[in-house]
Structure 1
Amino acid sequence: MGLTGGIGAGKSAAAARFAANGAVVIDSDRLAREVVEPGTPGLAEVVAAFGSGVLRDDGALDRPALGRIVFGDAAARKRLEGILHPLIQRRSAALASAAPAGAIIVNDIPLLVEGGVAAAYHLVVVVDAAPAVRVERLVRDRGMTTDDASARIAAQIDDATRRAAADVVLDNSGAPSALDSAADALWADRLVPFARNLAEDRPAAWAPDVVAYDPAWPAQFERLAARIRHRVGDRPIAHVGPTAIVGAAAPDVIGMSLTAGSASQVDDLRSPLGAAGFLPSAGGTYANADPGRPAEVRVLVG
């Protein structure tokens, strides 16, 4: 899964809780430090881009100096991200490949939404907290001034956009114990059975009730469709079935149709659909292995 959240929201605390439950956590912030350690090609690229003034006397990266260059300068920040992101992604992929079979891998990525990589994960979890709470934490825990903390929050993507990318939002506006309880429940009720279903090559079992129309259904379809396109390429995917009818009550199952180019390509889609979390089910459909979001895909030839 991908885990993200704005500065001061408590993403690291959630990652630590998932790790305590047994997750393999891949921390992008830590990797970002590793890829620019002294002697690395990454550090050489940063110096070439921003000058020797970003180095300390001992040859290590002077992070405050680099921060002064890129903070508030979108072009400079984009240039830095263009250097670091490919290096971080390669290192992250290597660590994920080395994880034990069946492991639940939590990718702790501060810029997951900004980087446009949400579709690469089976599930995206956003840790959220009210801006005033985040400012208070940054002042208390990181020694920032109120103005600096507010500026750092304002420089990031807005909270509504981050929440829109989320399959799950963990509210961390309250006590730390409340976040721990929410993370534990997500782990036990959704992540563990999701991982087990994937390992055993079976979709989740569900018996959805008929519910009132949910205005969130279209956005849920878009997230699922993006996840599938990430694996199968840019093929037509449509929202179909009862949940696609605006305003109508329906069984809470997101229905989708995926168009293959020819009959011979239908079987070729099984592996990429499996990588997206959709596994063969009854009636020739593929159903989501995620017990928290009933959804199914029917492959059509068009």
Structure 2
Amino acid sequence: MSAYTDKEMIKVSYYYYRKSLTQAQIAKKMKMSRQRVNRILKKALEDNIVEIKINNVDKYNVELENKVEEMFGLKQVIIVSPIDSDTLFTSLGLAAAQYVVSLVKKGDIIGATWGRTISEVAKNLSVNKRLEVSAVQMIGGLNVASKSLQADEIARTIGRKLGGESHILYAPALVEKHSIKDALMSDMNIKETFKKMEKCNIILAGIGELKEDTYLLKDIDRNENYKKYFISKNAVGDIGFRWYDLNGQPVENEYENKTIGYNILKNNKDALVMGIAGGERKFEAILGALRGKYLDVLVTDSNTANKLIKL
């Protein structure tokens, strides 16, 4: 039997929710302790005497976001519901851009990798030059067809829109030999860019998937050899050409000492890492990144989020 009558629970709830009295005021009014008022309010919720309804929870994916946050220990999850696959990248980019603008402070430094979603983030950032936020290219140059997808162009766009400098990594993402990387890394300009990487407050991380038909590099022969090598190593995804498997474990590989850029998988700084990716093709890559704890924030679509929580 309940220690509180229905009348008591209804009256306390009425004062609290309808009349906006504090728990202390209710305690004084009803001649009881504040602790008793608190317990009555909790019991009223448990017994459905009080039902709290938050409108538009489903419309904005709030409950789904919370489930993914709790499941993977993320600081924030932002979920979009694109109309179709054609609007997916734009929806992800716009949502991520809005979050960045709400988060960024004057003088911050944003690091960015490359790819279509990160390009969309840069495109959708609102212009605010008073922020004086700089951008750093986190992965070397790539021979890709579209200029807007290139890492240097993305960094320039972010710096230009947010009123800061753009720190460009004047080196290719992949080189033929370890000795070439060593020579490039000894260059003062490249050293300075790597120092800026270490000062980033926010990192925009594109998540790449690995499939038989994944298109990575413009050079077809190199693309095929590179891709087949990592498929044989059971890699499922990458962030800035740092590869990991479905369990989130980094994939040891012969290209490690030929890759020029920030190693997000070994990130030990306080920068907030935002992973921005969605779509069925990228599910395993997203899952691996989450299991590897490489992300603090995930921006994805509702279909991917629902699939994640059903695991």
- Alignment TM class, shorter chain as reference: under 0.3
Q: Give the number of the structure whose alpha-carbon radius of gyration is greater.
A: 2
Identify the structure with the greater helix proportion.
Answer: 1
Query: Could you state the TM-score of these two structures normalised by the residue count of structure 1?
Result: 0.26
